[in-house]
Amino acid sequence: MTALSGAASLDSLKETLRHRHDRRGGRAYVLARWAAAGLFVAVLLGLVVSIAIDSSQAIAHSGIGFLWSGTWNPAANQYGAGILVVGTVVTTGVAMVIVVPVGLGMAAFLSELAPRWLAGPLSMAIDLLAAVPSIVVGLWALLVLSPVFANHVEPFFKSIPVLEWLFHGPAYGPSILLASVVLAVMTLPTVVALSRTALSGVALADREAAMALGATHWQVIREVVFPGARSGIAASLTLAVGRALGESIAVAMVIGNNPSVPHSLVAPGATLGSAIVNQFAEASPGIGTSSVIALAAVLLVLTLAVNAGGQAMLRGMGPGRPARVRKTRVAQ
């Protein structure tokens, strides 16, 4: 070891010590690191490639019209994802109709209205809901909710004259409505947790400025807190949509597996995810299986697109970002 003379020597000493430390097991470690990274990349690529390859047969058979063709009838050798995409969008849409008010309302409650001793445990409870396995939610929905829906909920909606067009037809339980409720239950924690973070993140200074002008508590929340949390809330909703699009097993258990145009919310239907679950076992090898895999490909593209958007929004959630401002709307 050289004699220490001046800062330069001290630095080079540190450098030597560091190198010695890092070099211990160095080569093998660097190799392992690269192997892990490479393996991960291989998995990513493999996912896309293998699904693409295995669905090629179906595309060859049905043509590119597979994507929007309205018929899914294995018996007649007709495969089209269109009807399933519609079902996916409808169930997710109805789920969002439920989740947006309930989720935002709950997030507002937790962030703005609840006393601290209540907000903590409640937030934890909602996170626990996120941890419940989807199969358990599906089981509960199938065996507990479905009879309740068939006997009480769906007749109730049917009795409201204004909504008759939405809820007409026989109601046996398994339905688009039930599936949507299941999706709502499963995506609620995402919306509540992220929105709550966004709402709490609004600066105290902005709130106090509004208060000092004579705003009531609710006015502060409506005019300052919610607008300030816009991007975080948007991110949470987008991610929730992404999750809802891909949920398969719970939906498959309660949607009734009927790939036809949904004419009523209480009728059975089918989504991409539920079709994959329900049709896979019976799919005829070759075209049939390939078509089911092609459904997975469509689902993959759909969820990737939505999630990419959601992640981008999450990253843009930082403070101080000037929001796009609407043209002035003075009064009225």
User: Segment 92-131, which members bind another protein (CB under 8 A)?
Assistant: 101-106, 108-110, 113-114, 122, 124-129, 131
- Is 211 one of the binding residues for another protein (CB under 8 A)? yes
- In 64-179, DSSP assigns E strands to none
Angstrom distance (rounded) from CA 172 to CA 116: 44
Q: Which is nearer to another protein, 32 or 261 (CB)?
A: 32
Angstrom distance (rounded) from CA 212 to CA 214: 5
CB of 23 to another protein, least distance (A): 12
CB of 14 to another protein, least distance (A): 7
Q: Which is nearer to another protein, 98 or 166 (CB)?
A: 98
Residue of 85, 178, 224, 265 interacting with another protein (CB under 8 A): 224
Angstrom distance (rounded) from CA 143 to CA 26: 57
Angstrom distance (rounded) from CA 307 to CA 311: 6
Contact 186, 134 (CB under 8 A): yes
- Is 56 one of the binding residues for another protein (CB under 8 A)? no
- Is 33 one of the binding residues for another protein (CB under 8 A)? yes
CB of 64 to another protein, least distance (A): 20
Q: Which is nearer to another protein, 264 or 293 (CB)?
A: 293
CB of 98 to another protein, least distance (A): 9
Residue of 4, 9, 23, 53 interacting with another protein (CB under 8 A): 53
Q: Which is nearer to another protein, 8 or 131 (CB)?
A: 131
CA distances (Å), origin 309, targets 176, 210, 241, 305: 26, 32, 11, 6
Residue of 267, 270, 277, 313 interacting with another protein (CB under 8 A): 277
Contact 245, 306 (CB under 8 A): yes
Angstrom distance (rounded) from CA 301 to CA 296: 9
Residues 147-206 that bind another protein (CB under 8 A): 185, 188, 192, 203, 205-206
CB of 329 to another protein, least distance (A): 8
Residues 285-304 that bind another protein (CB under 8 A): 292-293, 296, 299-300, 303-304
Residues 11-30 that bind another protein (CB under 8 A): 14, 18, 21-22
Radius of gyration of the chain (CA): 26
CB of 257 to another protein, least distance (A): 11
- b/e burial code for range 82-91 (CB count within 10 A of at least 16 → b): bbbbbbbebb
Q: Of 197, 46, 231, whose CA–CA distance to 107 is shortest? A: 197
Angstrom distance (rounded) from CA 320 to CA 274: 42
